[in-house]
Amino acid sequence: MFTGIVEELGEIVATERLTDAARFTIRGKLVTSDAGHGDSIAVNGVCLTVVDVVDGDSFTVDVMGETLAHSSLGDLESGARVNLERAAALNSRLGGHLVQGHVDGTGAVLARTPSENWEVVRISLPDEIARYVVHKGSITVDGISLTVSDLGRDEAGQDWFEVSLIPTTLTLTNLASATVGTTVNLEVDVIAKYVERLQQRS
């Protein structure tokens, strides 16, 4: 379990493409400082398992084909910057919201609108998860816990939502460099999915 509060902006330092999977080596000094084999680290919002710790500042992870196909991790190459977060400890503060690291779908950055003190980013919303997203609700974008500031549907029937990024988010996460067209991982609030499931069974 994670909170969506990015701890570190890491870097993909090596990629190995396998038949139906991939192995990434990721540099992140902070998240690696107490990492060991089997620990969970969220990489752009995807919960991955540490295989090895390398040189004290990097770790390797194996990513299966299913994850590569249904998240933005399949597009990662050496040099890419990624958002990193260690699994939450039971005695830590919940600064964001409950995040599982299970990507529900991907969206694309549609527009960026800068202002003096923040920047509004509009992202496309897949049909299959649009019903879980509400105004002022929580959503995870590439592992970042954010608040939905607006949402709607364009003339072509494409759902979208907007988030407002403060300077800290722009400085400490990869959303600062996410240009129009960039694919991002989305995870909706798990509570909404549980409520829907309970209603279906009642």
Nearest alpha carbon to residue 84 among 41, 119, 52, 116: 41
The type of residue at 182 is: T
Query: Is the domain 8-86 a CATH 2.40.30.20 member?
Result: yes
Residue 196 pLDDT = 81
Q: How confident is the model at residue 202, as a pLDDT?
A: 64
Q: What is the SS3 assignment for 195?
A: helix
Instruction: Output the pLDDT for position 162.
Output: 98
Architecture in CATH for domain 105-201: Beta Barrel (2.40)
As a whole number, mean pLDDT of residues 85-91 equals: 85
How far apart CA 61 and CA 154 sit, in angstroms, is: 38
Phi, psi at 158, each rounded to 5°: -85, 120
Question: Tens digits of per-residue pLDDT, 162-188?
Answer: 999 999 999 999 999 999 999 999 999
> For the segment 91-118, what is each residue's pLDDT rounded down to a tens digit?
777 777 888 899 999 999 999 999 888 9
Kindly state the average pLDDT of the residues 16-43. Answer: 95
Residue 76 has pLDDT above 70, yes or no: yes
Q: State what percent of residues in the chain have pLDDT above 70.
A: 100
- Per DSSP, 145 falls in state E
Q: Amino acid letter at 202?
A: S
Query: Mean pLDDT over residues 110-132, rounded?
Result: 94
Per-residue model confidence (pLDDT) at position 117: 86
**Among the listed residues 80, 70, 160, 79, the one whose alpha carbon sits nearest the alpha carbon of residue 112:** 160
Q: Mean of the pLDDT values across residues 125-143?
A: 95
Question: What are the extents of the domains in the chain?
Answer: 8-86, 105-201
pLDDT at 140: 96
Do domains 8-86 and 105-201 share one topology? The answer is yes
pLDDT score, position 70: 93
Predicted local distance difference test score (pLDDT) of residue 25: 98
pTM: 0.92
Mean pLDDT of 146-157: 95
- CA distances to 42, 113, 150, 184, 195 from 177, rounded to whole Å, are 19, 13, 21, 12, 35
Tokens of 26: 């990721």
27 in Cβ contact with 37 (< 8 Å): no
